[in-house]
Amino acid sequence: MRSTDADARIAGHVFRDPALLAQALTHRSAGAPHNERLEFLGDALVGLVVAEALYLRWPKADEGAMTRARAELVRESSLARIARDLDLGARITLGPGEMKSGGHRRDSILSDALEAVVGAIYLDAGFEACRSAVMPWFEAQLAALPAGGIGKDPKTRLQEWLQGRQRPLPAYELVSESGEEHARTFHVRCLLSDPALEAEGSGSSRRAAEQDAAAAILTQLEPLKP
């Protein structure tokens, strides 16, 4: 069901133009006007709000540390978790096919809808209203970040270790995936040819599973460092 004046409130914001919220919560499978253009705008706005917060909180952090922290905060699974906290899935308008397949629980649809809502808030009331809506979603995560910033992720560290020694880059293979669409578990194998090593990892996304596998390989490489 599309939003009306009676339910034009979300994330603490009451829409002056409820049609904007209705569009933000309409997936392309349900027809036009859908939320893809608003999602494009909201993606940039969420990144800006988080980048500004990191810049102000970490006066001595370099670009790399802030970039890694922003990527961690605004990745798809994080935004989908926020969308679930807002019960956004129940408000998204989907086409029959997506409805039948459980699209309202899918991370990609939830995160896109959340970004579209942010874009809609910006168009409805400007950047200050946008920041006021977005910042509470990230306050706890920002406070929990280590003062020195987030270090490089395991895949990056493994790649740099290999490149520094002029050795072939790792290969990642999807071993299996299981669970319902909204709660998948991925199992990935990381393989090195020089030195000949392999390790498996798991996670709620293929990216997370690859990171887990890379971390396991780094543990095996520890005796070989530096």
Most confident residue range from 63-67, 83-87, 102-106, 219-223: 83-87
Domain end position, chosen among 98, 118, 144? 144
| Cα gap 37→24, rounded to integer Å | 9
24 and 130 belong to one structural domain: yes
- Residue whose pair of structure tokens reads 């395991």 in the numeric block: 154
Same domain? For 57 and 128 the reply is: yes
Identify whether residues 111 and 72 lie together within a single domain: yes
Most confident of 61-65, 152-156, 173-177: 173-177
Among 89, 120, 144, give the residue marking a domain's end: 144
Same domain, 38 and 115: yes
In a domain, 149, yes or no: no
Q: Are residues 30 and 139 in the same domain?
A: yes
**pLDDT per residue as tens digits for the range 128-141:** 999 999 999 999 88
Helix (H, G, I), strand (E, B) or coil at 188: strand
In a shared domain, residues 197 and 110 = no
Q: Is residue 133 part of a domain?
A: yes
| Residues catalogued as catalytic | 43, 115
Instruction: Give yes or no for a contact between 100 and 26, defined as CB atoms under 8 angstroms apart.
Output: no
CA distance 201 to 188: 5
Cis peptide upstream of residue 33 (ω within 30 degrees of 0): yes
CB 199 within 8 A of CB 220: yes
Task: Please check whether residues 102 and 169 belong to one and the same domain.
Answer: no
Nearest of 191, 47, 35 to residue 113 by alpha carbon: 35
Q: Is residue 1 pLDDT above 70, yes or no? A: no
Same domain, 178 and 87: no
Are 100 and 33 in the same domain? yes
Helix, strand, coil percentages in the chain from 3-state DSSP, rounded to 5: 60, 15, 25
Are 102 and 48 members of one domain?
A: yes
115: containing domain: 5-144
The CA-based angle 209-201-198, given to 5 degrees, is 125
Q: Is the dihedral of CA 140, 144, 147, 150 positive or negative?
A: negative
pLDDT in tens, 12-21: 899 999 999 9
Separation of alpha carbons 213 and 152, rounded Å: 15
Domain final residue, candidates 117, 144, 171: 144
pLDDT digits (tens, 9 = 90+) for 25-52: 999 999 989 999 999 999 999 999 999 9
Evaluate whether residue 69 is within a structural domain: yes
State how far the Cα of 118 lies from the Cα of 52, in Å rounded to an integer.
16
Say which CATH number the domain at 17 has.
1.10.1520.10
105 confidence band (pLDDT: 50, 70, 90): confident
Mean pLDDT of 97-106: 85
- Give the C-alpha separation, 104 to 107, whole Å: 8
Domains in the chain: how many in total?
A: 2
Residue 158 lies in a domain: yes
- Say whether pLDDT at 5 is over 60: no
Q: Find the CATH number of the domain harbouring 172.
A: 3.30.160.20
- pLDDT tens for 45-88 read 999 999 999 999 888 888 888 888 898 889 888 899 999 999 99
pLDDT at 224: 64
Burial classification of residue 215, based on how many CB atoms lie within 10 Å of its CB (0-12 exposed, 13-18 middle, 19 or more buried)? middle
Whole-Å CA distances, 34 to 43, 105, 137, 160, 218: 16, 18, 24, 42, 44
Whether residue 213 contacts residue 199, with contact meaning beta carbons closer than 8 Å, is answered with yes
Is 66 in the same domain as 111? yes
214 in the same domain as 131: no
112 is in an annotated binding site: yes
In this structure, is residue 18 part of a structural domain? yes
What's the average model confidence in pLDDT over 89-111? 88
Q: Residue 202: CB partners within 8 Å, gap ≥ 6?
A: 185, 186, 187, 188, 209, 212
- Residue range 183-207, pLDDT digits in tens: 678 999 999 998 999 999 988 888 8
pTM of the model: 0.70
Give the residue-averaged pLDDT of 153-176: 89
